[in-house]
Amino acid sequence: MNIIPTSIPDILLLEPQIFQDSRGFFLESYNQKIFTEKLGITANFVQDNHSKSEYNVLRGLHYQIIQPQGKLVRAIVGTIFDVAVDIRKNSPTFGQWVGYELSAENKRQLWIPPGFAHGFLVLSEIAEVIYKTTDYYAPGGDRAILWNDPDLAIDWPLKTPPILSAKDSNAQTFKNAEVYE
């Protein structure tokens, strides 16, 4: 697995080794031994999520204040622009974000540890995204930060206004959001 450091050291962009021939391809998307020994990630994944979205759908920026989730994210169909925002108040990168294109073609994954808000924008006609989480969904702790918050200034690759859920349209600003102490 190729590890690509990001400007936020706790977030890793991962490129799996791909074995390809005339029949197709094979890759390991997760191997606990490699994650622990090579990446230092000792996360215990407890839930897998799968979403399908159309072009220009923007989901996020989501996080849980109760039962924070680490996420291992990848697109298995289409292309997304995946974003993580550091919302750990005592972190040197608090309020900073990173964003990367994840696609079925490039097969990259993004490791986002607990303590980050997460969102993505669909760049292809459709996209299917799967991600492992380190804790279970906790509806009472579910929170969202406004996707276009001016203090975060995320450079979303938008051509037109995104398609949003009511929850995401009415999310908190970064200044007013509950963050991790």
Residue owning tokens 């607990």: 114
Could you confirm whether 180 is annotated as catalytic?
no
CB 108 within 8 A of CB 102: yes
**In sequence order, which residues have a C-beta less than 8 Å from that of residue 130 and are 6 or more positions away?**
48, 49, 50, 51, 73, 74, 76
Annotated active-site residue in 55, 131, 136, 180:
131
- CA dist., res. 74 & res. 50, Å (int): 10
CB 74 within 8 A of CB 83: no
Annotated active-site residue in 62, 63, 100, 118:
62
Could you confirm whether 50 is annotated as catalytic?
no
Residues designated as active site = 62, 131
